[in-house]
Amino acid sequence: MEYYNYIKSLHLIFVITWFAGLFYIPRLFIYHIEAAEKPSPDKEILTTQLKMMTKRLWFIITWPSAILATFFAVWLLILIPDWLQQPWMHVKLAFVLLLFLYHFKCHHLFTQLQQDRITWTSTQMRLWNEVSTLILFAVIFLVIVRDAVNWIYGVIGIFLLAGMLMLGVKIYKRLRAKNPDL
């Protein structure tokens, strides 16, 4: 247990860098989608640069952070196995599973865009970009509050946050339609 704070710190550091990657990668996807709509030579220059940027972000920051965050999380659960008996941990692990599903879907999108296969609009990708935010809110509140009994209030809060985020995306889309430089 003397190493607990070090392991917890490393877990948190890699969770933060993992989320940083998950927050930024869809933004790069949006830029890639929008670059594909530009005329030549801008289209080719931008997509080449964006492919390189996403590849570096994905394989140098996001994937290693996901692996290391998971490694240190498992280590923490080995140190404190009683957490696995706690209802809040069950709910948190469900959200972590959702986070991995989100991560794998981002990997799928990454692979498609590296092959110049664009199947999403930039608006769809903006909405997708908010999924990791919702998961982050859920996990942080579960870890800090540790009260799975009131999870229904948390779910309601997540839906309200999702609604506000979608409203924000719609407002941004309208503003951008009026001023393309935004």
Q: Where are the alpha helices (DSSP H) in 57-130?
A: 63-79, 87-114, 122-129
Angle 109-139-135 from CA coordinates, rounded to 5°: 30
Q: CB-hemisphere CA count at 13 Å for 73?
A: 16
Cβ neighbours of residue 79 closer than 8 Å, sequence gap 6 or more: 1, 4, 7
Was 92 annotated as part of a binding site? yes
With beta carbons less than 8 A apart as the criterion, state whether 127 and 173 touch.
no
Was 11 annotated as part of a binding site? yes
Q: How many residues belong to the chain?
A: 182
| DSSP at 149 | G
Which residues fall in the annotated binding site for heme?
A: 11, 92
Which residues fall in the annotated binding site?
A: 11, 92
